[in-house]
C-alpha cells in the first residue's frame, strides 16, 4: 500500500488525517512542521505528501519547494491543505511545485476521495 506523509502542526487535524488514511489502508508517517517533514522525507521515500500551509519553523510552501528540489521527489504528488480564504496561497503553492490542494474544512470522505484520485 502506498505511504503518505501527513504534515500539520495541529495535533487534532494530523490525527484525523492519519487515522482516516490508515483506516483506508495507507501507511502514514506524521510530522508536525516542515522541518520535521523534510527530514522524514529524506530518510525514507513516501508516495505522497499532504501538508498544512501555516506552520511554525517551516511552512508548507517552503516544504513543497524544498521537496520538489530533491531528485527523489521530483514527480511525487505534494498536496497542500489550504483554506478557501487564501486563493493566493494556492497560486503560491503551485509556483513552489505543489501538485494540488485540499480545501479546509474537509471531511474524511473528501480527504480519501482526493487521495484515491491522486494515487489511483
Partner 1 sequence: MSIDLSRFRQTFIEESREGLDIMEAGLLGLEAGTCDADTINAIFRAAHSIKGGAGTFGFSTIATFTHLLETLLDQVRSGDRTVTRPTVALLLSSVDVVRLLIDAALAGQPEDDAPTRETAAGLRALLADTPVAGAAAADRLVPAAATGWQIRFRPHAEMLERGNDPTRLLRELGTLGTLRVTPDLSTLPTLDALDPEACHLAWDLELDGSDITAAAIASVFEWVEDECTLTMTALGLPEPGATASAGDAAAPSRPAATAAVAASSAGGEGSSLRVNTEKLDDLVNLVGELVITQSMLGQVGRDFDASKLEHLQAGLAQLERNTRELQESVMRMRMVPISYAFNRFPRMVHDICERLGKRVELRMSGEGTELDKTVIEKIGDPLVHVVRNALDHGLETPADRLAAGKPEIGVLRLSACHRGGEIVIEIADDGRGLPRERVRAKAVERGLIGATDVLTDEQVVDLVFHPGFSTADTVSDLSGRGVGMDVVRRNIKALGGSVELRSRDGQGTTLSIRLPLTLAILDGQLARIGPQTFVVPLVSIVESLKVDPQQMSSITGRAELYRLRDEYIPVLRARELFGLPPEAASDAPALLMVLEAEGRQAGVMVDELLAQQQVVIKSLEANFRAVRGLSGATILGDGTVALILDVPGLIGLTQRGGDQGRPTRTSRDAVAAA
Peptide bond into 60 cis (omega under 30): no
- DSSP per-residue letters across 33-68: SHHHHHHHHHHS--SEEEEESS-SSS-HHHHHHHHH
Cβ distance to partner 1 smaller for residue 13 or 29: 13
Cβ distance to partner 1 smaller for residue 44 or 117: 117
Looking at 6, 9, 61, 92, which residue binds partner 1 (CB under 8 A)? 9
Residue 98 touches partner 1, criterion: CB under 8 A: yes
CA dist 87 to 16, 83, 105, 111, 119, Å? 24, 8, 14, 19, 25
Cβ distance to partner 1 smaller for residue 25 or 43: 25
The H or E element containing residue 92 is helix 87-96
Q: How far is the CB of 38 from partner 1 (least distance, A)?
A: 16
Task: Please report, as ranges, the residues that interact with partner 1 according to CB under 8 A.
Answer: 9-13, 15-16, 19-20, 23-24, 52, 54-56, 68, 74-78, 81, 83-85, 87, 91, 94, 97-101, 103-110, 112, 117-118, 120
Amino acid at each position: 500500500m502506498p505511504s503518505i506523509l501527513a504534515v500539520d502542526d495541529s495535533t487534532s487535524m494530523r490525527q484525523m488525517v492519519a487515522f482516516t488514511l490508515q483506516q483506508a489502508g495507507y501507511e502514514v508517517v506524521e510530522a508536525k512542521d516542515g522541518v520535521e517533514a523534510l527530514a522524514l522525507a529524506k530518510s525514507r521515500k513516501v508516495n505522497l505528501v499532504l501538508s498544512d500551509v501555516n506552520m511554525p519553523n517551516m511552512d508548507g510552501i517552503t516544504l513543497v519547494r524544498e521537496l520538489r528540489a530533491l531528485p527523489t521527489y521530483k514527480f511525487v504528488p505534494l498536496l497542500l491543505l489550504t483554506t478557501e480564504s487564501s486563493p493566493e496561497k494556492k497560486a503560491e503553492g503551485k509556483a513552489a511545485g505543489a501538485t494540488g490542494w485540499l480545501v479546509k474544512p474537509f471531511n474524511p470522505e473528501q480527504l480519501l476521495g482526493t487521495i484515491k484520485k491522486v494515487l489511483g
